[in-house]
Amino acid sequence: MSVDVEAIKQGHRAMWTAGDYPTIAKRIESVAGVLVERVGATGGVDLLDVATGTGNVAMLAAGAGASVTGLDLTPALLEVARRRAAEAGAQIELIEGDAEQLPFPDGSFDRVTSCFGVMFAPRQEVAARELVRVARPGARIAVAAWTPEGFVGRSFRVSAGHLPPPPPELKPPVLWGQEDHVRALFANSGGEVTCERRTVRFEGASIAAWLDEDEKLLGPAVMAKAALEPQGLYEPLREDMVSLYEEVNEADDGGFRTEAEYLLTLVQLPA
């Protein structure tokens, strides 16, 4: 890849530090529960959560009895995860690190998870190989990623239409939510790959209130507004977002309710 991968990762650190991601992460806690249940995070299991963020998966897995390591690229999010673990009395090892270069020997974990995290790694094939590399024979890997067709994937596409295009070598993160693509990513693992489309429910007081919250709390939205508003280019993006939200809104009482689709990929490695 000819692009500056390290510059992209620095940008990711800044993006997920902007706003208030710990609050945003509460929207997807139920998905973390699905991953923990599906991989079987129980006592005696060593589990690695990649791009752990504020520790949604890590906390639930530790509560289920697993021995948990959480890794993330962003120090500020790890500090929140550490506070959460300390307040809960959970024993979780939290490490700053890169999903494309996991700092663990081959075959270190019985379970490897990532909940809307590894999908943002710039080199998707590299990241997928790393998930497999650190997994032991017989291990299970679980990845949740937004689908291109779902609400979040479509909102990414709307934003992208108003921002400078990324380098063509970079594949869209939502490809992790496309079954054929994710099967290809794990094709050399030797494992059995199963994919399931699921949804998580989003609810807000109104479309305007949800967008206002995103502009203050959601890193990508915060940075998009900061980049476009000084040029007088933000309102067209906001208008396109309102149109999308109106299309997917299921509420008829002035509120905002929708189901955001994601792909749950499970890889069972051979023993």
What are the pLDDT digits (tens) for 103-161? 999 999 999 999 999 999 999 999 999 999 999 999 999 999 999 999 999 999 999 99
Domain boundaries, the chain: 5-203+261-268
How far, in Å, CA of 241 to CA of 247, rounded? 10
pLDDT for 19-74, tens place per residue? 999 999 999 999 999 999 999 999 999 999 999 999 999 999 999 999 999 999 99
What pLDDT does 21 receive? 95
pLDDT for 196-217, tens place per residue? 999 999 999 999 999 999 999 9
The CA-atom distances, in angstroms, between 172 and each of 121, 162, 177 are: 10, 16, 10
Q: Name the CATH superfamily, with its identifier, for domain 5-203+261-268.
A: Vaccinia Virus protein VP39 (3.40.50.150)
The CA-atom distances, in angstroms, between 123 and each of 49, 101, 252 are: 18, 11, 42
Q: Extract long-range pairs of 228-234: CB within 8 Å, 24+ residues apart.
A: 228/162, 228/163, 233/162
Amino acid at 268: Q
